Chain A
């Protein structure tokens, strides 16, 4: 596992100074999380332009890290005001850490057994490593539709970065990548919650509560990385950290095609949240996936969802939506207690969510509508498509929704507590 750990260290070394430059007054935990996400993106991107040589990449990354560290040190501003530690917070921190350690054991127990790893993400990564380059011939002439040659390459290239560091292919511990993504997202969640609530207890509770949503069970496929990039991006754009949020949004679009619709959804969310002027600041989200989109177009890599007559299929499904509805109603999402609690929380905090969280809510609703649209446009049997994707698609949206719901409940609780304290001090 040395290569996996070295990749994480290099990603942090190059990513944290970049994150510090882009999120100058962010809490330390958030900056580390952002740094991990940015660093992994940089490591993967380098493989698109540099020779796949261990020492060239390591030296280059260390040089970037040194320059970025120097710049970020020069730009340093006040660090976030320290928030006193609460004993109750320690318990929630312990829960989160134990859960992540357990997740790390699960993730690195064995190579990924996921079919999509064997036919798509892992297959591409291993095939690219064989020739130490992106294998355009393989993508152009992919003989199995399950290979999805149009899917973006951030995750396969991340696996390749580890293989280059190792100088050999070994999939035994590639799950460590998914642990890094989950931990990075949880650090962003913790920092954001801490910044907003000014309460370590609340931040620790929200972080612990979101561990099961950040630590996805699907090893070797792009769901976990996409959830990390997309959720972190939305939370940061929501806070007004649009520059780094837009970069993470672009990395989300470089991880899964769903990230492309998320860019449009985020733009609509900003407009609906009366932040239309900030839409232009999302430009990095468009620029980052652009080279891949151009290459995809140049090589004519097919996208299954838009093959044939899309309009005809959509109209047919809209005229007779029953097959989609039946498939959705029969597809299990599991976790009934979680969904009940989420629904109850949304009802309780509905006013706050409707007023203060319009950006996140509109963005998630738009993205959800895009997912339903994909089902309407699918060239496959809709029941099959829903069965094999619904749970994962819903998992894309759940962490951000749960975060804003919990934050609204915590804010409500903190307000009630301060009001009761003020009342009691007045009566005394």
Chain B
């Protein structure tokens, strides 16, 4: 199933790795180095839904490119594609070729 992910290489494998390292009920926010919804973020975010079913998948940006900081507060996991966000209260728990996984520290 690489065809729907081809514009962001590595994103499918990242999601498969994130799925393997999270459990049902986890709330996952998707971080990415895109400043605009229509210039990469929408593509990345919507393609996270299917491989991460069972988890709640939240965007960190809305359709009008406004950041959704409240979703960081809701999330207990951050899946970051080709970026390394430094967020207080989160620690890196896994690193792959195209992304990192952060989990909220107790």
- Please tell me if the beta carbons of A143 and B57 are within 8 angstroms of each other in the complex: yes
The reply to whether the CB of B58 lies closer than 8 angstroms to some CB of chain A is yes
Query: Whose C-beta in chain A lies nearest to the C-beta of B46?
Result: A119
Query: Whose C-beta in chain B lies nearest to the C-beta of A169?
Result: B53
- Please tell me if the beta carbons of A113 and B1 are within 8 angstroms of each other in the complex: yes
- Please tell me if the beta carbons of A123 and B50 are within 8 angstroms of each other in the complex: yes
Interface residues of B in 3-17 (CB under 8 A from A): 3-4
Interface residues of B in 42-89 (CB under 8 A from A): 45-47, 49-50, 53-54, 56-59, 63
- Please tell me if the beta carbons of B49 and A130 are within 8 angstroms of each other in the complex: no
In the complex, which residues of chain A have a beta carbon less than 8 angstroms from the beta carbon of B20? none
Interface residues of A in 109-144 (CB under 8 A from B): 110-111, 113-115, 117-119, 122-123, 126-127, 130-131, 141, 143-144
Partner of A123, one of B3, B49, B59: B49
- Please tell me if the beta carbons of A143 and B59 are within 8 angstroms of each other in the complex: yes
Interface residues of A in 167-211 (CB under 8 A from B): none
In the complex, which residues of chain B have a beta carbon less than 8 angstroms from the beta carbon of A115? 4, 46
The reply to whether the CB of A77 lies closer than 8 angstroms to some CB of chain B is no
- Please tell me if the beta carbons of A119 and B53 are within 8 angstroms of each other in the complex: no
A131 CB to nearest chain B CB (Å): 8
- Please tell me if the beta carbons of A110 and B53 are within 8 angstroms of each other in the complex: no
The CA-CA distance from A131 to B57 in the complex, in Å, is 16
Given the interface pairs A118-B4, A130-B24, the reply to whether A144 lies near B46 with Cβ below 8 Å is: yes
Partner of B49, one of A110, A119, A141: A119
B6 CB to nearest chain A CB (Å): 9
Given the interface pairs A118-B47, A143-B59, the reply to whether A123 lies near B4 with Cβ below 8 Å is: no
A302 CB to nearest chain B CB (Å): 14
Q: What band does the interface of chain A fall in when counting residues whose beta carbon is under 8 Å from B? A: 20 to 34
- Please tell me if the beta carbons of A144 and B45 are within 8 angstroms of each other in the complex: yes
Interface residues of A in 3-40 (CB under 8 A from B): none
The CA-CA distance from A141 to B45 in the complex, in Å, is 16
Number of interface residues of B (CB under 8 A): 16
The reply to whether the CB of A422 lies closer than 8 angstroms to some CB of chain B is no
B61 CB to nearest chain A CB (Å): 11
The CA-CA distance from A408 to B23 in the complex, in Å, is 59
- Please tell me if the beta carbons of B50 and A126 are within 8 angstroms of each other in the complex: yes
The reply to whether the CB of A391 lies closer than 8 angstroms to some CB of chain B is no
In the complex, which residues of chain B have a beta carbon less than 8 angstroms from the beta carbon of A126? 50, 53
- Please tell me if the beta carbons of B53 and A118 are within 8 angstroms of each other in the complex: no
Partner of A119, one of B1, B50, B59, B63: B50
B1 CB to nearest chain A CB (Å): 5
In the complex, which residues of chain B have a beta carbon less than 8 angstroms from the beta carbon of A130? 24, 53-54
Query: Whose C-beta in chain A lies nearest to the C-beta of B43?
Result: A115
- Please tell me if the beta carbons of A113 and B4 are within 8 angstroms of each other in the complex: yes
B63 CB to nearest chain A CB (Å): 8
In the complex, which residues of chain A have a beta carbon less than 8 angstroms from the beta carbon of B47? 118-119
Which residues from chain B sit less than 8 Å from chain A, CB to CB?
A: 1, 3-4, 24, 45-47, 49-50, 53-54, 56-59, 63
23 A-B pairs in the complex with CB atoms less than 8 angstroms apart: A113-B4, A115-B46, A118-B47, A118-B50, A119-B46, A119-B47, A119-B50, A122-B50, A123-B49, A123-B50, A126-B50, A126-B53, A127-B53, A127-B54, A130-B24, A143-B57, A143-B58, A143-B59, A144-B46, A144-B49, A145-B63, A146-B46, A147-B49
The list of the 8 closest CB pairs from A to B, nearest first, reads A113-B3, A130-B54, A118-B50, A126-B53, A127-B53, A123-B50, A119-B46, A123-B49
